[in-house]
Structure 1
């Protein structure tokens, strides 16, 4: 077998050195054992890829590696690693057979490191081989053991080690060639215990490894015949990494340089000549070019994966010096220099990325470092980012370009940049980050960078005092609609008159109906309409205390009321603040826009308006030119509005302001507040109608003013009748209904043909015929005045009841018989409790009155005594005592003293009389009790009488007539109104059945 690399000579030298110095053998064996025990199985593929990349660099060709796991006889598996590039040479063989040297010593562009390298194959194989276009070599644990056993000086050491030998120190020539298209192939027969790990490593091999190996363009991984291709195409500053059908785009940032020789003084000799370095950061991008976290375990790549954790969400590829274990970075000046270079490259990476909030994920998180190197990197990167102008700002104005970047110390971010807040504040808050940068997950990064946070309170401070058009403020308000109300209380508000309010509280927000341009004289704080045009702007200001400025709301403003109420005095004092006509125009414009009804706002009547004499007077004391009311009032009672001023304004607005066309309504909560004629007297009259006790709670009251100024009642009454119903509505106090002030006033004044309506009767009345003259007026006027139509109408008013009592004694008047029967009793009830002067004459018949001073007048209280009366009788209506007290008359029973003088002819039980059953039924009794005596004739007091009641339940006395029987029985049972019905029962006993049937019909 040919030996192109003279491996025999290499073996002789190594064996000679071991034979001369068994300690050297022990040293080499221990070093290799340490490598095997170091668990470098996970680095095997990385080392193979690294060697392939270095071979491609040495040859100046694109690197390509093929990793294939193949089965062999006996159930074993072999890992083949074929690569392109420079073939194996003698130096390379020497390097493979050395645990401490490398053929890469003078090759600056390579990435392989000193220390482990090819030795990583020992983690999986005892019989590694290398086949190259220039020849091949093989290493073997078995053959090495045999060679060592033949050296007497080593026999004891070999036994002590139980046959364990350093595999990679002795090389033998190997037959074989790399696959076509490749320059070198590493062949690794796998130990049984390593097969599963190698298979898993092949499956998990990341395409991103190629980022650390610029010389390697493609890796083919073949497992069980399935081919997976990993590739990396670099077009700086981008790299496209492909894993099968999936391609990931990475953004790269590099910093290259040369380390000062002094920094490498304490490094191994092989490293001292390799002073050039390149630090690379790589971060994957999404489809929109935004950075996303890299896949895999976040570690430092030096430049291939180490065990140094990395909290930064990017891949760092840098030639950090590693410790003997090839896993951890060694601290020192070289590492410090590379950390500085890495921080600068990281800042380049961040600056080059699109200005998107996703970039903030690349900012180190303070306090989250996982190890010393990670902490150093994070601190250095953060310092660089703080000093680098990389944050985009929204200050696009005449002084700042839209693409300007700023360092974090000169940038600001809103606490919440929702909606259009950033756009609204562009040019106002310096260095403001664009929208989207204030999201919650970005807050730690911005805080670490030192970016100034701007909350609502700071926004208010920033905009206070600046000059901007109202539309700009509208945009600001709309943007901050949902912000914290407490911090926006001092937000300025531009007003319609050019002023600026120091805060929204109390500011009026103009509605569509508000004549803003005419309201200047009122000096109101009305927001400029353009500033509150967007609904969102209005909603914010309302939350902050502004009030919707409808015309009605503005009219309700205390400042408007004060201006109106002081307007007449202001005119008298010279009206220093402008023209009174301007104030009047402004108020009337508000009234018209609000649709205010006449009398709705009584204080409007204080508004100073010009009259036809060239002076100014309160609106409530002026008449519209040609007003119907003017024709019915006395001359000079009220002034007249200036005709030109009246023609220039809406008549409805003028009337709402109090200018009179007809009678004006007056409203109050209590009679004491009714500034109208007779209000006190009306209240007293109302209280007279109520039972004594606690004063009532008055409902809202409405009446009419200027009644005392009327000169023409014939013309005034139709105007009054046409007023709204509320002016005529009855007042209900404690369930008692009383007439309103207007109706009471008219009823007590001679307004109907010189007479009081309360002293006339309704034309349709029958009860009051003969007592009152009929009222003559239009139906609508009579309907409002309600002249009395019944006795009850009269008796409702004590004054009217006294007048009725007087009318009953007037001999010129007549009384309907039906009214006379009980009118005195009803009068007594109505006037009960009042001190009433007895009348001089009393009514004793519909057409007759009597003078008690000249004849013996009595009140009929005992009807059986009526035949014995020697003077006129007053009907008692069932209340003889009360009537006698009212009229100051005696009762008939007091004046006549008599008893039955005749003897009875017969005596009967009431129940035995013909017709008794019907009489009992009409009394509602099952039968009649007691007795009755029949006289012929019945005498009492020397005179015949028809009936006489029995005393103490004794028998009644009658003259035998049905009428007498009916009266006696009715009085016995307290059913005096049934006397006629009972008389009928006794008069026609034969018709009892028919009469009873008729009773049932009713």
Structure 2
């Protein structure tokens, strides 16, 4: 019955001899005498096959693996592996417990040092997972196909996923080997904690049954973490709270990674077809992080987006959609806190970053993100819808045109703009449709606007590309010093200060001189200097412009001007007039100063010119003052 084991070292023979007593010591396989005696030669693969079903302590198996480290892996594919959590006493209650084995290391989970505890390993075995006994774990097993049992690798096995998916109904099916609800929760939360998962890493964990505040099982994805920011802003009774004792024991990280809400959840989806009829929540046991159908009124958002885009046979596609879920669950009084949450990363991008839409012809357009769209149409700021409000204390040029909203403590201008709150004229005009909105409000007689404010607004509008602006039917203008709404066709650009005395009853559009031509082009209206005839009819005497004035006003200063005792033009007495040929006519000192400053393109210097003309000795004083311009 003696046998010789071929192709192994003395260490392997010594270990196997403990269970195969007929093995002769190593080193005798080449002896001629053994051949003469007919001693059987046993290949290693056959010896390994004989180990099937053998129950030995894990330390013995580890010694065997250690002795086989240099052997060709192809000869070891059938090597038994002792499993964790499968202790057996072989029918003898007094015998030491030894683990059962499985054939072949491939797909066996190999415990890592300090990664999984004994109770967890035992529970994994009851879930049907094959985990090598930690005392038998050896690098050889990994070479032979065993998988390192990292917490995430274990968590994502089909057995654990199936247990999570069926956890809500687990109590209805009797299985003495199955984990009860508490054991499954502890096992899964341990793995989630040790894997250091964050919300959204494994969305299917949302189906894990956890006890709610009343002790009843509920899917993790439908629970809220007690004391969390989301619990503070959620309307009472919308979602159940997670059991407080469970939350205190495990903390936020593993619970939120399983879908318990501590803050707003994000939907992140790519290549979303913008078809309102298709944007429905998916059927399933858990909320998927890329399911756009979970968003409240997302079909209405989609319809609004489609209204802004060209009609196409094939629906356009949102290349990437990032949106905040559950906005409809916020309590009306909690919006200040909710907006503060939304203004912080990672939620902030869902509010401020436009959505890029790919059209069938290959072109793209940017549209308002879902989160901003939803918030604009709900009373989330100061109890009112934010669209059409202005931040109190913001750009004074918007005063009267927009109702103020108290945004105290909420000074994120980009977020306010995303909400539709107007913070500045520049931001308003930079937004698609902003110019039309501003002009529409200027045409509203019930919204008060002052002349100085109107001047600043028209100066800003003049800088726009005419293709961006639809010609308005009505404009706000200054008529005899009073700001009124007039027909756009009647309005005139106020581009000639010398002609203002001739504009009685004429609706004037005030604008910075440098922008007068652009505003006339933008609105397709006349300019005052081109539309009012004001030929000088009085006689005057030509005068030289003083050198001090020429130095002050620069090279554009005329050499001469015409002084009148009484200046008449267009049938009206004027202080000054600059005729189309560039000649300055003036009847008063202030008129000379204004005419020369206007002709030189130095209108703000007119008061200095007047001071010089009145008292030439102040030349040095005024020159020093210009150091500080």
- The TM-score normalised by the length of structure 2 is 0.68
Alignment check: 8 A CA contact 1:907 1:934 kept: yes
Identify which of 799, 804, 822 aligns with 2:456. 822
Q: 1:628 to 1:699 in 2, by over 3 A?
A: closer
Partner of 1:475: 63
- Paired residues for 1:532-571 under 5 Å: 532=137, 537=138, 539-557=139-157, 560-561=160-161, 563-565=163-165
Q: 1:957 aligns with which of 576, 579, 584?
A: 584
Of 353, 369, 389 in structure 2, the residue corresponding to residue 731 of structure 1 is 353
Residue 743 (structure 1) shift:
5.5
1:984 is matched with which residue? 608
Matches within 5 A, 1:609-688: 609-611=210-212, 617-624=218-225, 629=230, 632-634=233-235, 637-641=238-242, 650=251, 652-660=253-261, 662-670=262-270, 672=272, 673=290, 674=292, 675-677=294-296
Question: What's the Cα RMSD here?
Answer: 5.2
| 1:522 and 1:563 in contact (8 A); partners too | yes
Change (3 A) 1:754 1:727: same
Equivalent residue in structure 1 for 2:4, among 404, 410, 434: 410
Deviation at 1:930, TM superposition (A): 6.6
SS at match of 2:111: strand
> Measured at CA, do residues 838 and 607 of structure 1 come closer, stay the same or move farther in structure 2, by a change above 3 Å?
farther
Q: 1:738 to 1:544 in 2, by over 3 A?
A: farther
Partner of residue 775 from structure 1, selected from 400, 405, 424: 405
User: Displacement of 1:765 after TM fit?
Assistant: 2.2
Q: How does 1:484-503 map to 2 (within 5 A)?
A: 484=72, 488=76, 491-498=79-86, 500=102, 502-503=104-105
Aligned mates of 2:518, 2:173 — CA distance in 1: 70
SS at match of 1:654: helix
1:765 aligned to 394, 406, 413, which one?
394
The residue matched to 1:961 in structure 2 has which SS? helix
Q: What residue is the counterpart of 2:283 in the other structure?
A: none
Task: Tell me how far apart the structure 1 counterparts of residues 31 and 487 of structure 2 sit (CA, whole Å).
Answer: 115
For the 8 Å contact 1:671–1:679, the answer to whether it is kept is: no
Give deviations 1:971-996, integer Å, cap 9, x for gaps. Answer: xxxxxxx4214763575365555555
Query: CA deviation digits over 1:147-193, x for unaligned, max 9?
Result: xxxxxxxxxxxxxxxxxxxxxxxxxxxxxxxxxxxxxxxxxxxxxxx
TM-aligned CA deviation for residue 791 of structure 1? 2.2
Picking from 946, 949, 966, the partner of 2:597 is: 966
Contact 1:858 1:891 in 2 (8 A): yes
| Residue 506 to residue 684, structure 1, CA distance change in 2 (3 Å) | farther
Q: Deviations over 1:346-369 (max 9, x none)?
A: xxxxxxxxxxxxxxxxxxxxxxxx
Question: Where does residue 506 of structure 2 map in the other structure?
Answer: 871
CA contact (8 A) 2:413 2:423 kept: no
8 Å Cα contact 1:607/1:657 also seen in 2: yes
Residue 809 of structure 1, CA deviation: 3.8
- Deviation at residue 897 of structure 1 after TM alignment: 3.9
Q: Which residue number in structure 1 is paired with residue 195 of structure 2? A: 594
> TM-score, normalised to structure 1's length?
0.46
* Residue in structure 2 matching 1:789, options 423, 439, 452: 423
| Residue in structure 1 matched with residue 209 of structure 2 by the alignment | 608
Residues 413 and 454, structure 1, Cα contact 8 Å, conserved in 2: no
Shift of 1:424: 4.8
**Given the superposition, is the C-alpha separation of residues 865 and 458 from structure 1 closer, same or farther in structure 2, using an over 3 Å criterion?**
farther
Asked whether the equivalents of residues 491 and 503 of structure 1 are also in contact (C-alpha less than 8 Å), the reply is yes
Change (3 A) 1:855 1:720: closer
Kindly indicate whether the alpha-carbon contact (under 8 Å) linking 1:622 and 1:659 is maintained by their aligned counterparts in 2: yes
Structure 2 counterpart of 1:857: 491
2:353 pairs with 1:751: no
Structure 2 residue 121 is matched with structure 1 residue 516: yes
**Deviations, residues 554-575 of structure 1 (Å, cap 9, x unaligned):** 334465446545655x669969
Structure 2: gaps spanning 5 or more residues: 87-100, 273-289, 310-315, 357-364
Q: Relative to 1, partners in 2 of residues 1:678 and 1:893: Cα closer, same or farther, differing over 3 Å?
A: farther
Deviations 1:404-423 (A, max 9, x none): xx8xx835342x67xx6555
Distance 1:796 1:425, change over 3 A: farther
Name the CA distance, whole Å, in 2 between partners of 1:491 and 1:833: 78
Structure 1 residues 384-441: Cα deviation after superposition (integer angstroms, max 9, x where no partner): xxxxxxxxxxxxxxxx9xxxxx8xx835342x67xx655554446764755xx69xxx
Tell me by how many angstroms 1:963 deviates.
1.9
- Deviations 1:615-666, CA, capped at 9 Å, x for gaps: 7543212235677756754565334556787687656533332223x43321
Residues 982, 733 of structure 1: alpha-carbon distance in 2 compared, 3 angstrom cutoff: farther
Matched-pair contact (CA < 8 Å) for 1:932–1:958 = no
Are the counterparts in 1 of residues 6 and 42 from structure 2 also a CA contact under 8 Å? yes
Query: Relative to structure 1, is the Cα distance of residues 542 and 863 closer, same or farther in structure 2, using a 3 angstrom cutoff?
Result: farther
1:843 to partner: Cα distance: 5.6
Q: CA deviation at 1:755?
A: 0.9
Distance in 2, Cα, partners of 1:480 & 1:819: 89
Compared CA separation, residues 814 and 664, structure 1 to 2 (3 A)? same
Q: Does the aligned pair in 2 maintain the 1:508–1:547 contact within 8 Å?
A: yes
Q: Does the 8 A contact of 2:7 with 2:44 survive in 1? A: no
1:965 offset after TM fit, Å?
1.0
Written as runs of structure 1 = structure 2, the 5 A alignment for 1:81-480 is: 410-414=4-8, 421=12, 424-427=15-18, 431=23, 433-434=25-26, 466-480=54-68
- Structure having the higher Rg: 1
Is residue 537 of structure 2 the alignment partner of residue 915 of structure 1?
no
Matched, 1:934 2:562: yes
One of 334, 337, 358 as aligned partner of 1:718: 337
Q: Provide the C-alpha distance between the structure 2 equivalents of 1:917 and 1:836, rounded to a whole number of angstroms.
A: 45
3-state SS of paired residue (1:750): coil
Paired residue total: 555
- In structure 2, how many angstroms separate the alpha carbons of the residues matched to 1:932 and 1:558? 96
Q: Name stretches of at least 5 consecutive residues in structure 1 with no aligned partner.
A: 1-399, 401-405, 921-926, 971-977
Q: Give the conservation status (yes or no) of the 8 Å contact 1:663–1:719.
A: no
Go from structure 1 to structure 2 and tell me whether the alpha carbon gap of 1:766 and 1:470 turns closer, same or farther (over 3 Å shift).
Answer: same
Instruction: Please give the secondary structure, in 1, of the residue aligned with 2:122.
Output: helix
Q: What does residue 4 of structure 1 align with? A: none
State the shift of 1:707 in Å: 0.7
User: How far off is 1:770 after superposition?
Assistant: 3.8
2:94 corresponds to which residue? Answer: none
CA offsets per residue over residues 200-232 of structure 1, 9 Å max, x none?
Answer: xxxxxxxxxxxxxxxxxxxxxxxxxxxxxxxxx
